[in-house]
Amino acid sequence: MTDSMTGGCLCGAVRYEINGEPAMQVVCHCSHCQKQAGSAFSTIVGVPDSAVTVTKGEPRTYVDRGESGKAVERRFCGNCGSPLFSIVEVAPGMTFVKSGTLDDTSFFSPAAHIWTRSKQCWVDTGAVPAFETNPA
């Protein structure tokens, strides 16, 4: 993987760049990610906030609440609706990028499945470590 990655929304109105290596790569099965993704889970790359620069457009924000009651800012393209980033109050200093919005997703290899207590019964996590909620 390289030190720099680019990505954006489906319509191209919002583009971003990431400088630096990801801190984590996970699959989230929480019910809110399922709703946001319109799928069984969300694939996420966690990077330091300072590594992400929006280079075109301005994402819109919907403030959600996690199970903890703390804020989860879900940032998306206001034009096409593509989910782009999540900023999670319980993980200060991190931005969680929806990996499907990256221009090159070939590097993605999840180290864990999280919030599996909400996972769909037909999803198999395989040999990858799985956690019912957030790992300690």
Give the whole-angstrom CA distance, residue 45 versus residue 20.
12
Tally of domains within the chain: 1
CB contact at 8 A, 7 and 39: no
What is the token pair recorded at 31?
């019910």
pLDDT in tens, 75-106: 999 999 999 999 999 899 999 999 999 999 99
Give the whole-angstrom CA distance, residue 94 versus residue 1.
19
In a domain, 12, yes or no: yes
Q: Is the pLDDT of residue 136 over 80?
A: no
What is the token pair recorded at 38?
């319109």
DSSP state, residue 106? T
Q: What is the pLDDT of residue 13?
A: 98
In a domain, 39, yes or no: yes
In a domain, 84, yes or no: yes
In a domain, 136, yes or no: no
Q: Is the pLDDT of residue 2 over 70?
A: no
How many CB atoms neighbour CB 67 within 10 A? 14
In a domain, 96, yes or no: yes
In a domain, 25, yes or no: yes
CB contact at 8 A, 57 and 14: yes
Buried b (16+ CB within 10 A) or exposed e, 75-112: bbbeeeebbbbbbbeebeebbbbbbbbbeeeeebebeb
Average pLDDT, the chain: 93
The CATH number linked to 81 is 3.90.1590.10
- Residue 94's domain comprises 4-118
In a domain, 125, yes or no: no
In a domain, 135, yes or no: no
pLDDT in tens, 18-72: 998 899 999 999 899 899 888 999 999 999 999 999 999 999 999 999 878 889 9
